[in-house]
Amino acid sequence: MTMEIKDNEVIGLKSIIVKYLLHWRLFVLVFILSFIPAIIYLVWYPRTYEMMARIQIIEDQELGGGSFGLGEAAGLMRSFGLNSIAQGTVNIEDELSTLTSNALLKKMVCDLGINAEYKRPYSFYRLYENNPYLLTTDSLTNERLNEDIEFAVRLHDGQIIVRTKSKRMGKHTFRFSSLPAFISLPNGDFTLDYAPGKTKDALENMNIIFYPATWIAEKLEEEFLIEETSKSSTVIELSCTDYELSRGVNMLNRLIHFYNEDAGSYKSKEALKTLTYLNARIDSITRSLGLIERDIAVYKNANNLMDGVHDVEFYIGQMHEIQVKLIELESQSHLVKMMDEFVKDPANKYNLVPILLSQEGEKGSPIMAYNDVLLERTRVIQNSNKDNPIAKNLTEQADQLRESVFLSISNARKATRQAIDEIKEKEKELFKLMETFPDKERDFIELKRQQEIFQGVYLILLQKKEETALSNDLNRERAKILDAAFVKRKPIAPRKLYAAIGMMILTLVVPVTYLFAKEQSRSLIKEYRRVKNHS
């Protein structure tokens, strides 16, 4: 039974095919006629090419580990891991989001002026380099414009007539005897001038549509193809298609330029915040150092220690190891305290925490993780706003990590305090063995040690300041250009294959549709007559 049904279906299909093949002349006629739209497509469709550029995202590399000739303080800085700027990391997904952000694309659109579209009357082709006019507006109008405006420029009796039309503001007409012409509309102020390199002789009738820059940026976000070459690579490929080759090349190059410019601006702002903080701490340490030096001078004069310096130096020699360790730990304690005050200050809630301890600068530490999240959050907000879902998610992560930062700093303070207490216990034992030393010399040593502690902290902060300033002055670009924008050799449109496929579709669909409709019409007419005769 099943075989019989299948045979019937095969026989029915064969009969349909044979029935249509009887009208082969119709298929041949349509095939010949299909050459017309195919030729129109190949001749009139603009020759479109693909433009491509390649960039490599560069990490913030460490500066050299030089100590700037700071002597013994350099060893102290190295022990704290403060002789270099921490190395950054690259999140390619974040960089891709930044490159396709509306803010960055909008900046590129406004810079190139491609939100103004120029066309000759009755033409479908957009002009870029060959248009004789340049229509511009101010930044305020670019920001608040929320509809497209049509400008019809016509030349008549030596005058330039400009007719404008928009949905909300209606129609307006302006007449000018020469350019530049200033056009004041309810939507904003515009200036019509000669394009660069063009003169009055090149003027012609032109239709111009001025779009909001945000709309063009939104459209380009869909048209641009920006992707990483592989999951383990920091190389990004940018590509777009256009029949105006210089327009596509300029868009890719300017997009990369503004990406680097924004990254440099962000880096400079962060460096300025760090320098402001370090300058404030350096001023505070300088004042404290001045006070302790004055106390030493007063103490030496009051206790006649001007000739007993050699005794003090002898004592310092015997206590050298303990002193060095105490200086290191006391300096570390001051640095931990600075970090604690910085983090607990509400004004610094979403500012990067200065990494003043080596263990906190290691990859995976709470402070490094916290700073990485803050960096991502700041970059996302800079290219969008705080209401961005990604920015909100990063803010929640930062709030959660902030508690671990508090705990990490608290643990560091406890560990440092415990180490200091242990060293001081050893110092007391040595003091008991040297009870013959006058108390005034012991007090003098304590003052000298406080002086050295402040000097060590001062040199550390000064080193950080120099490194931050040097890193900012280097002005390295975030994106290294591997391949500047170039045009690929083969055009992507029009394609002969598409024309051939269109011809095949027309050759099959049009005759089959016609014959099927004809057959159905006959059946309906026959059925109508049969019903009419019976009635």
What residues does each domain of the chain span? Answer: 2-45+494-534, 60-96+259-483, 116-211
pLDDT, position 59: 74
Whether residue 80 is predicted with pLDDT greater than 50 in this model: the reply is no
Whether residue 346 is predicted with pLDDT greater than 70 in this model: the reply is yes
Name which of 427, 436, 403 is nearest 322 in CA terms.
427
| Least confident among 82-91, 393-402, 470-479 | 82-91
Number of Cβ atoms within 10 Å of the Cβ of 392: 13
pLDDT, position 89: 63
The answer for residues whose C-beta is within 8 angstroms of residue 430's C-beta and 6 or more apart is: 318, 319, 322
| Least confident among 256-265, 461-470, 486-495 | 461-470
What average pLDDT does the segment 34-43 reach? 79
Give the Cα separation of 353 and 146 in Å (integer): 41
Asked if 105 and 220 touch (Cβ cutoff 8 Å), the reply is: yes
Banded model confidence at residue 362, pLDDT cuts 50, 70, 90: low
Considering 51-55, 361-365, 367-371, the range whose residues carry the highest mean pLDDT is 51-55
Give the Cα separation of 184 and 171 in Å (integer): 13
Give the Cα separation of 371 and 383 in Å (integer): 19
Helices 309-318 and 439-474 meet at what angle, rounded to 10? 70
Give the Cα separation of 176 and 35 in Å (integer): 48
Question: Cα dist. 189→106, 119, 139 in Å?
Answer: 19, 21, 10
Banded model confidence at residue 81, pLDDT cuts 50, 70, 90: very low
What average pLDDT does the segment 233-249 reach? 90
Q: What is the pLDDT of residues 140-160, one digit of tens each?
A: 999 999 999 999 999 988 899
Banded model confidence at residue 532, pLDDT cuts 50, 70, 90: confident
411-443 burial: b if 16+ Cβ within 10 Å, else e: ebbeebeebbeebeeebeeeeeeeeeeeeebee
pLDDT, position 75: 46
The per-residue pLDDT of the chain, averaged, comes to 79
Burial group, residue 370, by CB count within 10 angstroms (0-12, 13-18, 19+): buried
Give the Cα separation of 53 and 252 in Å (integer): 7
| Least confident among 37-41, 131-135, 225-229 | 37-41
